[in-house]
C-alpha cells in the first residue's frame, strides 16, 4: 500500500467585488490568507448601472482592451492570488530555512556593534576600530585605495553562529600566525570573536550555550616597551621650534602682512599646545575639546570632561570628569594664549583654527612631527607628551595621585609610570643600602653601620 503523502496547500479562493471609482466601476479581488483580509485591484469593469434597480450589468458590445468582464476578471483574480501565494510561500520557505540553519555570524556581529553603540555607549574611535576588523571582504578603506581583507567575515560570515566550534576558531587564529600577523593583533581578533560570542550567549539575544572562543589559546605578547618621554628641556626645545615656524618648512614668497601675522599666531599656539600637553597630561582628544570655561587660572585648576573621538566630541575615555592642578609652566602657556585677544570667551576652544573651529587632529600631528625633527629630538609619538607628564609627576608623587592626574581607570596602568625613570632620591637610597668600608684588621669589607658585638 503506498505511503500517504501530505496534501499540497491549495491556493485560497477569492471573491470579485465591484467598486465605484470616479473614472467608472472597477473589479477588485478579495480573499483571506491565514486570517488576514487581502485585497487587490484587478482593473476597469465593463459594466454599467441597470436603470431599473441600480445594480451593475454587463455593457453591450465587445470588451475593449484594458477592460474586464466577469469572466476575464475571474481569470485575472486567480492569477493574482496564485502569484501572491507564490511569493508568500517563498518568504515562508526562506524563513523556515533560516530558522533551521540558524542566525548567521554576520548578523550577530552587526547586532553586537549596535549593542556597543547604543547600550554600552562605546566611543566612536572604538566602534571604528572594531568596524575595521568586521569589515566585509573587499570593502574600500576610508583613506587610500586599499581594500579590506575582511578576514573574520570571510571565514565566519555565512556560518550559523551556533555551529561554529572552538576548533574552527583555533584554525583561524593559527592561519593568522602562519601569515605573520603579530601576537598582539591575533589576540585582538580573538578578543573581538570572544566578545561577539559572549553577546550571543545572553538570554536576551541568541541563548548560545557556551562561548567557543574561550577555549582558544591567547598568544604570548612581547611586554610593553619601556616608557620613553621628553625631559622639560626637550619639551621647551620642541615648543621653541614650533614658535619660530621651523615646523612649517620653506614658506612661499610674497605672503601678505596679514597672512604672515596669522601664521605667527598659529605657530605660537602650536608651541603652547605642545607645552600644555606635556605639563597637564591631557589626552590628545581632551586637548582638542578643551574650552576656556574649563580653565580657571585664578584657582589654578582645570576640569577635563570632554574629548574628541574619531571626530565626534563627547565624554572622556573613562566617562568621568577630573580636576587637575595647573602647574606654573602650563599656567604661563595658558596666559599667553588668553592674551591673543580673540576666541577667548567661555565657549571658545583653547586651541582653535583661524575661524575659531576645532583643530584638525591629523594636521596637528604632522606639525608636531616636523617640530620634533627640527629640534633634533628622538622620534616619539605625540602621546609621549602625556607620558612625560605622568612620568615627571611620578618622580615626586604617589601612584594614587598620578592615577587621578592622568585619569586612569585602573591603577595597573599607572604603575608603568611609577617605574619609568628612577626618582632623584632612589640613587641615594641604594647607595646608603650598599655602603661599605674596608676593614683594617683583616683586609675585608664590612658594613659601615654594623653595630658592635655584645659582650
Q: Based on the domain organization, do 125 and 207 belong to the same domain?
A: yes
What is d(CA 371, CA 47) in angstroms, rounded to the nearest whole number? 88
Picking from 152, 180, 215, the residue at the C-terminal end of a domain is 215
The reply to whether 251 and 388 lie within a common domain is yes
Q: Strand locations in 158-219, DSSP E?
A: none
Domain-terminating residue out of 215, 243, 263: 215
Residue 5's pLDDT is: 42
Identify the domain boundary among 85, 101, 117: 101
* Residue-number span of the structural domain to which 407 is assigned: 232-411
Q: Are residue 84 and residue 140 in the same domain, yes or no?
A: no
Question: Domain containing 181 — which CATH number?
Answer: 1.10.150.130
- Indicate whether 448 belongs to any domain: no
pTM exceeding the 0.85 threshold for the entire prediction: no
Domain count, the chain: 3
Tell me if 389 is assigned to some domain: yes
351 lies in a domain?
A: yes
My answer on whether 91 and 238 are in the same domain is no
Same domain, 263 and 400: yes
pLDDT per position as a tens digit, 9-40: 677 888 999 999 888 999 999 999 888 999 99
Residue in this structure with the C-alpha cell 566611543, named with its chain if needed: 123
Edge-to-edge order in the sheet of strand 24-33: 15-21, 24-33, 36-44
- 62 and 138 in a common domain: no
**Alpha-carbon distance 346 to 356, whole Å?**
12
Distance (Å, rounded) from C-alpha 290 to C-alpha 349?
Answer: 6
Average pLDDT for 174-192:
96
Residue 441 scores a pLDDT above 70: no
- Predicted pLDDT of residue 6: 40
For residue 119, report the phi and psi dihedrals to the nearest 5 degrees.
-85, -40
**Which contacts (CB < 8 Å, 24+ apart) does range 174-177 have?**
176/151, 177/219
| Residue 442 predicted with pLDDT over 60 | no
CB contact at 8 A, 400 and 417:
no
- Report how far Cα 124 is from the mean position of its chain's Cα atoms: 4
Q: What are the C-alpha distances in Å from 343 to residues 263, 347, 357, 369? A: 16, 9, 9, 26
pLDDT at 417: 83
The answer to whether residue 182 sits within a structural domain is yes
Q: Would you say residue 454 lies in a domain?
A: no
| Residue 373 and residue 278 share a domain | yes
Inter-residue contact 267 to 245 (CB < 8 Å): yes
Diameter of the chain measured on Cα atoms: 147
- The distance from CA 399 to its chain's CA centroid, rounded to whole angstroms, is 30
Spatial distance between the Cα atoms of 313 and 285, rounded to a whole number of angstroms:
8
Residues 120 and 197 in one domain: yes
pLDDT tens-digit profile of 243-294? 999 888 788 888 999 998 999 999 999 999 999 999 999 999 999 999 999 9
In angstroms, what CA-CA distances link 251 with 233, 256, 289, 364, 365?
A: 28, 12, 30, 18, 19
Same structural domain for residues 266 and 352? yes
Same domain, 207 and 276: no
How many Cα atoms are found within 13 Å in the side-chain-facing hemisphere of 225?
6
> Using the 8-state DSSP alphabet, how is residue 180 labeled?
T
Measuring CA to CA, which residue among 381, 370, 354, 379 is closest to residue 246?
370
Q: Cβ contacts of residue 139 below 8 Å, gap of 6+?
A: 147, 148, 150
Contact 80, 42 (CB under 8 A): yes
CATH, residue 270 = 1.10.443.10
Quick one: CA torsion of 221, 226, 227, 233, rounded to 10 degrees?
Answer: -160
How would residue 101 be classed by pLDDT, with cut points 50, 70 and 90? low
Distances (CA, A) of 170 to 23, 219, 356: 69, 11, 52
Q: What are 105-122's pLDDT values in tens digits?
A: 999 999 999 999 999 999
Q: Report strand pairing: 36-44 vs 24-33.
A: antiparallel
273 and 401 fall within a common domain: yes
Q: How confident is the model at residue 100 (pLDDT cuts 50, 70, 90)?
A: low
For residue 364, how many other CB atoms are within 10 A of its CB? Answer: 19
| Cα distance between residue 421 and residue 418, in whole Å | 8
pLDDT, residue 268, reads 95
Q: Residue 7 has what pLDDT?
A: 45
What are the backbone dihedrals phi and psi of residue 18, each rounded to the nearest 5 degrees, phi first?
-100, 130
| Residue 165 lies inside a defined structural domain of this protein | yes
Band of the pLDDT at 310, cuts 50, 70, 90?
Answer: confident
Output the pLDDT for position 425. Answer: 76
Same domain, 279 and 155: no
Average pLDDT over residues 298-319: 92
Single out the residue of 440, 416, 22 nearest to residue 225, CA to CA. Answer: 416
3-state secondary structure 220-255: CCCCCCCCCCCCHHHHHHHHHHHHCCCCCCCCCCCC
Query: For residue 5, is it within any domain?
Result: no
Residue 193 lies in a domain: yes
pLDDT at residue 145, as a whole number? 73
Amino acid at each position: 500500500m503506498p505511503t500517504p503523502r501530505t496534501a499540497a496547500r491549495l491556493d485560497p479562493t477569492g471573491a470579485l467585488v465591484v467598486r465605484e471609482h470616479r473614472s467608472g466601476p472597477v473589479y477588485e479581488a478579495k480573499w483571506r490568507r491565514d486570517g488576514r483580509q487581502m485585497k487587490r485591484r484587478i482593473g476597469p469593469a465593463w459594466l454599467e448601472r441597470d436603470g431599473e434597480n441600480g445594480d451593475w450589468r454587463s455593457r453591450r458590445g465587445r470588451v475593449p482592451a484594458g477592460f474586464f468582464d466577469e469572466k476575464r476578471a475571474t481569470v485575472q483574480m486567480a492569477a493574482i492570488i496564485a502569484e501572491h501565494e507564490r511569493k508568500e510561500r517563498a518568504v515562508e520557505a526562506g524563513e523556515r530555512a533560516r530558522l533551521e540553519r540558524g542566525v548567521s555570524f554576520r548578523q550577530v556581529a552587526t547586532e553586537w556593534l549596535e549593542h556597543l553603540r547604543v547600550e554600552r555607549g562605546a566611543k566612536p574611535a572604538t566602534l571604528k576600530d572594531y568596524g575595521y576588523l568586521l569589515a566585509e571582504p573587499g570593502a574600500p578603506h576610508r583613506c587610500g585605495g586599499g581594500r579590506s581583507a575582511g578576514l573574520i567575515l570571510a571565514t565566519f560570515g555565512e556560518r550559523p553562529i551556533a555551529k561554529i566550534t572552538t576548533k574552527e576558531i583555533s584554525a583561524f587564529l593559527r592561519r593568522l600566525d602562519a601569515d605573520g600577523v603579530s601576537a598582539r593583533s591575533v589576540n585582538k581578533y580573538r578578543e573581538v570573536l570572544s566578545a561577539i560570542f559572549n553577546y550571543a550567549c545572553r538570554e536576551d539575544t541568541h541563548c548560545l550555550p557556551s562561548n567557543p572562543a574561550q577555549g582558544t589559546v591567547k598568544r604570548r605578547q612581547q611586554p610593553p616597551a619601556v616608557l620613553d618621554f621628553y625631559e622639560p628641556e626637550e619639551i621647551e626645545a620642541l615648543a621653541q621650534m614650533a614658535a619660530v615656524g621651523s615646523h612649517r618648512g620653506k614658506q612661499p614668497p610674497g605672503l601678505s602682512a596679514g597672512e604672515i601675522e596669522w601664521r605667527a599666531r598659529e605657530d605660537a599656539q602650536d608651541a603652547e599646545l605642545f607645552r600644555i600637553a606635556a605639563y597637564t597630561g591631557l589626552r590628545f582628544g581632551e586637548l582638542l575639546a578643551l574650552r576656556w570655561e574649563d580653565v580657571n587660572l585664578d584657582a589654578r585648576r582645570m576640569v577635563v570632561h570632554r574629548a574628541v573621538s574619531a571626530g565626534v566630541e563627547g565624554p572622556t575615555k573613562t566617562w568621568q570628569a577630573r580636576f587637575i592642578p595647573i602647574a606654573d609652566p602650563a599656567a604661563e602657556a595658558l596666559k599667553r594664549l588668553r592674551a591673543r585677544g580673540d576666541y577667548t570667551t567661555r565657549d571658545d576652544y583653547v586651541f582653535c583654527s583661524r575661524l575659531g573651529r576645532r583643530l584638525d587632529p591629523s594636521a596637528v600631528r604632522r606639525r608636531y612631527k616636523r617640530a620634533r625633527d627640527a629640534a633634533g629630538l628622538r622620534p616619539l609619538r605625540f602621546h609621549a607628551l602625556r607620558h612625560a607628564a605622568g612620568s615627571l609627576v611620578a618622580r615626586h608623587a604617589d601612584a594614587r595621585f598620578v592615577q587621578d592626574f592622568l585619569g586612569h581607570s585602573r591603577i595597573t596602568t599607572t604603575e608603568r609610570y611609577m617605574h619609568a625613570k628612577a626618582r632623584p632620591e632612589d640613587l641615594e637610597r641604594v647607595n646608603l643600602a650598599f655602603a661599605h668600608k674596608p676593614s683594617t684588621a683583616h683586609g675585608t669589607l664590612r658594613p659601615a653601620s654594623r653595630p658592635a658585638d655584645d659582650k
